[in-house]
């Protein structure tokens, strides 16, 4: 038997069920989360209420769960946790448990929005001009409007849109404590179309494909409604990023597209909430992961979602509202 553990599973009942369907009689899907009422607990084969992943006893606890449940594949839906798991990859490898992740230093780099900006410049990827506080005050080259974002942030929480230098001065005065210790970046606001992109590598970090979705409506920092797009114009960019990031499995990227220029604004080493829209269009990534785990061939269609499939979230799942015909 080959068993899978999804940690920090939260509300991802959909993903849990899809992994169960994919592994079928070849194994079980176990989940864990700090929240004892996590929705995915209701559908998993087994579930565990976890200590906080920041606790010193978290890794020993998780190793014990992996041993008890004979876990061979471990994926987390939380990048903060992944940073901790990667530091302990050798301990999980020793019990034949593969962590779906990537290079620790690159995860750290892409997690910090200022380091991500520097990384994009280094590898020639377009990204909005980005400044630290000491770089933006009195800078005549800044093109307003700008958006202030926490360097380490999720969704759109804590963001401020600033229309001119006077608004910046007022905000800095009113929220002085918030902007200490270079905790925020200030980024020129690109008013383009927003796209969610899933970059897929195999477990040996070789590029496989890219899923692309145009975001039509957002709620609480997540895509609420989206439509799948052709990957053709994204392949070269995806190949370049895949070689630089060297990740395993899936990473979730956000782009703004304006005048045919693609600006990278965010990277997360995990299944993002937007994957469900590609799944509704025919992607079968849980099945791909399972077959890689079992060393079985995959069907090319599992990595080739249809274009122009328009879907909308409905609670924990999604519904197709137009198939583009």
Structural domain includes residue 91: yes
Which residue's entry shows tokens 């005050």? Answer: 137
Tally of domains in the chain: 3
Q: Are residues 165 and 88 in the same domain?
A: no
Arithmetic mean of pLDDT, 238-263: 97
Instruction: Assign 9 a pLDDT band (cuts: 50, 70, 90).
Output: very high
Q: Are residues 64 and 184 in the same domain?
A: no
Q: Are residues 166 and 206 in the same domain?
A: no
Q: What pLDDT shows up at residue 109?
A: 96
Is residue 223 a contact partner of residue 193, using CB atoms and an 8 Å limit?
no
Q: In the chain, what is the straight-line distance between the N-terminal and C-terminal CA atoms, in Å?
A: 42
Q: What pLDDT shows up at residue 304?
A: 97
Q: Are residues 317 and 202 in the same domain?
A: yes
Give Dmax over CA atoms of the chain in angstroms.
63
Q: How do residues 163-189 score in pLDDT, each as one tens digit?
A: 999 999 999 998 888 888 889 999 999
- Evaluate the CA torsion angle 6, 10, 15, 20 in order and state its sign: positive
Q: Are residues 212 and 306 in the same domain?
A: yes
Distances (CA, A) of 258 to 25, 132, 191, 194, 268: 47, 24, 7, 9, 22
Structural domain includes residue 116: no
Q: How do residues 267-311 score in pLDDT, each as one tens digit?
A: 999 999 899 999 999 999 999 999 999 999 999 999 999 999 999
Does residue 325 have a pLDDT over 70? no
Q: Are residues 213 and 173 in the same domain?
A: no
Q: Are residues 202 and 184 in the same domain?
A: no
Strand, helix or coil for residue 88? coil
Domain of residue 18, residue span: 3-99
Q: Are residues 160 and 79 in the same domain?
A: no
Structural domain includes residue 110: no
- Evaluate the CA torsion angle 324, 288, 36, 107 in order and state its sign: negative
Mean pLDDT over each residue of the chain, to the nearest integer: 95
Q: What is the CATH number of the domain that holds 151?
A: 3.30.1490.20
Q: What is the CATH number of the domain that holds 247?
A: 3.30.470.20
Identify the domain boundary among 150, 166, 188.
Answer: 188
Residue 7 in tokens: 């940690």
Q: What pLDDT shows up at residue 1?
A: 78
Identify the domain boundary among 188, 207, 237.
Answer: 188
Q: Are residues 144 and 70 in the same domain?
A: no
Q: Are residues 29 and 90 in the same domain?
A: yes
Q: What is the CATH number of the domain that holds 65?
A: 3.40.50.20
Is residue 278 a contact partner of residue 305, using CB atoms and an 8 Å limit?
yes
Sheet-wide strand order for 71-76 = 46-49, 29-33, 3-7, 71-76, 98-99
Q: Are residues 43 and 74 in the same domain?
A: yes
Q: How do residues 125-164 score in pLDDT, each as one tens digit?
A: 999 999 999 999 889 899 999 999 999 977 678 899 999 9
Residue 93 in tokens: 């490898």
Q: What pLDDT shows up at residue 155?
A: 67
77: closest CA among 129, 12, 20, 174?
Answer: 12
Identify the domain boundary among 172, 188, 204.
Answer: 188
Pairwise CA distance, residues 21 & 118, whole Å: 41
Q: Are residues 40 and 133 in the same domain?
A: no
Pairwise CA distance, residues 35 & 31, whole Å: 11
């Amino acid at each position: 038997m080959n068993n899978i553990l999804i940690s920090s599973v939260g509300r991802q009942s959909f993903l849990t069920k899809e992994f169960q369907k994919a592994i079928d009689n070849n194994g079980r899907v176990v989940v864990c989360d700090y929240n004892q009422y996590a929705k995915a607990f209701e559908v998993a084969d087994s579930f565990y209420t976890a200590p906080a992943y920041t606790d010193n006893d978290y890794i020993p606890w998780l190793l014990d769960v992996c041993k008890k449940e004979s876990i061979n594949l471990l994926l987390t839906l939380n990048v903060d946790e992944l940073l901790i798991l990667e530091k302990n990859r050798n301990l999980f490898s020793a019990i034949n448990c593969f962590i779906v992740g990537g290079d620790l230093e690159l995860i750290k780099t892409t997690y910090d929005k200022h380091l991500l900006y520097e990384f994009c410049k280094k590898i020639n990827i377009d990204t909005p001009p980005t400044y630290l506080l000491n770089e933006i005050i009195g800078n005549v080259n800044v093109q307003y409007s700008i958006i202030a974002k926490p360097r380490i942030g999720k969704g759109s929480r804590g963001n401020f849109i600033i229309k001119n230098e006077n608004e910046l001065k007022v905000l800095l005065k009113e929220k002085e404590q918030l902007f200490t210790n270079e905790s925020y970046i200030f980024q020129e606001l690109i008013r383009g179309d927003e796209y969610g992109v899933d970059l897929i590598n195999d477990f040996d970090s070789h590029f496989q494909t890219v899923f692309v979705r145009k975001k039509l409506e957002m709620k609480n920092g997540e895509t609420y409604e989206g439509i799948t797009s052709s990957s053709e114009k994204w392949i070269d960019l995806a190949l370049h990023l895949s070689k630089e990031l060297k990740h395993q499995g899936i990473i979730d990227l956000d782009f703004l597209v304006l005048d045919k220029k693609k600006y990278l604004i965010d990277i997360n080493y995990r299944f993002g909430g937007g994957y469900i829209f590609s799944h509704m269009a025919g992607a079968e990534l849980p099945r791909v992961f399972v077959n890689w785990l079992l060393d079985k061939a995959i069907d090319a269609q599992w990595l080739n979602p249809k274009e122009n499939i328009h879907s909308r979230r409905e609670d924990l799942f999604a519904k197709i509202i137009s198939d583009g015909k």
